[in-house]
């Protein structure tokens, strides 16, 4: 499963969820993961589902 943190490059396009607050963000492959909108620290995102 694809994972990432703010400032890292998105490995696969998809919907990602912050493991701390559950906030979902849409990320595009090759772009950079954003900070969590709810300002969690040490954010890790995990992919919920892939998008095309």
Binding site for Zn ion (CB under 5 A): 18, 20-21, 23, 36, 38, 40
* Residue whose CB is less far from Zn ion, 29 or 38: 38
| Closest separation in Å from C-beta 31 to Zn ion | 18
* Residue whose CB is less far from Zn ion, 42 or 52: 42
| Closest separation in Å from C-beta 51 to Zn ion | 20
d(CA 15, CA 1): 12
Question: Nearest Cα to 10, choosing from 43, 52, 47?
Answer: 47
Using CA atoms, how far residue 49 sits from 39, 41, in Å, is: 23, 23
């Amino acid at each position: 499963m694809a994972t990432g943190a703010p400032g890292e490059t998105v490995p696969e396009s998809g919907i990602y969820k912050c493991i701390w607050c559950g906030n979902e963000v849409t990320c595009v492959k090759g772009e950079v993961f954003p900070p969590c909108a709810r300002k969690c620290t040490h954010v890790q995102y995990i992919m919920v589902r892939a998008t095309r």
